[in-house]
Amino acid sequence: MTHKGTKTFIAQRGTAVLMLPLVMWFLYSVVANAGASHEEVRAWLAGPLNAALMAALIVIGCVHMRIGLNEIIDDYIDGGSRGVVKLLNLFACLGAALLALFSLFTLAA
Amino acid sequence: MASDMATARPTAPPTSLPPRPTAPHLQIWRWTITMASSITHRATGVALYSGTIVLAIWVFAAAQGGETFAKVAGFLASPLGVFILAGYCWALIFHTLNGLRHLYWDTGRGFDLKTATATAWATYAASVVLAAIVVFAGLSARGAL
């Protein structure tokens, strides 16, 4: 994980910029779907544009939060456990992204 | 380090080094709004980490049957769920607005004390107002108000 500082720095800013419009869409969507029934939510998430935006929000968000938590781990965890905790961080972010993608594909099918 | 010190002071090598001093940062520094916003950025980032996992679970529940979705949606509609969602909403807005501050700093601007302090206060104020608007709009749309 060494000698990747510049790449990580740029990735964190790139994902941050991509998240700006996605977060605005998400906040609007949360209000628009407040109190929606299961069928309404299914139909909404099955729409290609909504599915793509939700996938982008979660996947890009997971990349961003993995880098962010890695930075916190670097600051507070020393020694041998650092690598293990970073691996757990990767699994959590990968797991959330894959769960969402799998679910969105299921809804679209 | 120990061998360096031993060669520098050959007459009395320390048998064991005293523990290295650590910075008592949170206990000793006077709180400033810029310091608070920096800590809040990190705290909201960690909170959003959990929030993203909840969002992924919500999408998963929607893809599963109506029973699974009813459980998740029912919890999120409970008083505790609404509290969590309101907090998530504020954290998302704060982290986004403070992220804009960070992106502005990345251009090399906005670092002077006056600007940094003003943008920190503005971020707190705007995040609270915007979060209140979104939560109010959400609860109204749900018919809870």
Provide the token pair at A59: 């996947």
Tell me the pLDDT band of B1, cut-offs 50, 70 and 90.
Answer: very low
Provide the token pair at B1: 């380090």
Q: pLDDT for A25-57, tens place per residue?
A: 999 999 999 889 999 999 999 999 999 999 999
**C-alpha span between B145 and B139 (Å, rounded):** 6
Q: Counting beta carbons within 10 angstroms of the beta carbon of residue B83, is it exposed (0 to 12), middle (13 to 18) or buried (19 or more)?
A: exposed
Give the other-Cβ count within 10 Å of A45's Cβ. 22
Question: E strand or H helix at A11, and its extent?
Answer: helix A5-32
Q: What is the pTM of this model?
A: 0.88
**C-alpha span between A81 and A79 (Å, rounded):** 6
Tell me the pLDDT band of B6, cut-offs 50, 70 and 90.
Answer: very low
The shortest CB-CB distance from B45 to any of A23, A68, A100 is to A68
Q: Which residues of A touch B (CB under 8 A)?
A: 13, 16-17, 19-20, 23, 26-27, 30-32, 34-35, 38, 41-42, 45, 54, 58, 61-62, 65, 68-69, 72, 92, 96-97, 99-100, 102-104, 106-107
**C-alpha span between A49 and A106 (Å, rounded):** 15
